[in-house]
Amino acid sequence: MKILKLTMIVAFLALPFWGAAQSCSKDINFQKQRIKKPWSYNDLSKAATCLTGKTYEFILPLTKGKDYRIQFFAAPVFNNKINFKIFDQSTGQLVMDLPGESASNAEGTCALHDIVDEETFKESHPYFDFFPATSTSIKIVIEVETIPNASEAATDGYKAPEKRNRGCVTIFVTDSEAPE
């Protein structure tokens, strides 16, 4: 009986982590349903479970003759405290430095905060278009910020362990044929 209870407790405690990993693929499937012509889904899209206080890198090859649109999505647990940096892989040059949310939240200044069109009053999620003249690759660096006050020093001189939140971060890629 004790083994059964212990097994049920372990399974119950593991459920949130398993659920977080499973729901990341659902993020991509949800976004697939929202694609509008002339854009089509690109299978280079990725969704992964990420932790606060960690940095992740993703290489995205871009092919000449296609236009690309990239959107970023993140779980609410991160409170938009994520920075996205895009580098040209061949030159190492920083192409874009996008916070998840910016002070102004104006179009093109942040990656996660929805923008409201002042004429139609409709929300739209930020996207970033790339029109490569040659086949190239970009490196996307995702910096998930630490939770504020998560590691305050204790009065006895020991540092408290950092609190880590776990959630999905999605890089959603669509493409279309480039006009000739």
Assess if residue 157 is contained within a domain.
Answer: no
pLDDT at 44: 94
pLDDT at 102: 81
Q: What is the pLDDT of residues 38-90, one digit of tens each?
A: 999 999 999 999 999 999 999 999 999 999 999 999 999 999 999 999 999 99
Assess if residue 80 is contained within a domain.
Answer: yes
Assess if residue 155 is contained within a domain.
Answer: no
Q: Which residue range forms the structural domain that includes residue 103?
A: 2-150+162-177
pLDDT at 81: 93
- What is the total count of domains within the chain? 1
pLDDT at 20: 45
Q: What is the pLDDT of residues 145-172, one digit of tens each?
A: 987 654 455 555 666 666 788 999 999 9
Assign residue 38 the CATH number of its domain: 2.60.120.380
pLDDT at 158: 65
Please state, for a pLDDT cut of 70, what percent of the chain lies above it.
79
Assess if residue 12 is contained within a domain.
Answer: yes
Who wins on pLDDT, 91 or 108?
Answer: 91
Confidence of residue 16 (pLDDT cuts 50, 70, 90): very low
Assess if residue 85 is contained within a domain.
Answer: yes
Burial track 67-84 (b if 16+ CB lie within 10 A, e otherwise): bbbbbbbbbeebbbbbeb
Assess if residue 91 is contained within a domain.
Answer: yes
Assess if residue 156 is contained within a domain.
Answer: no
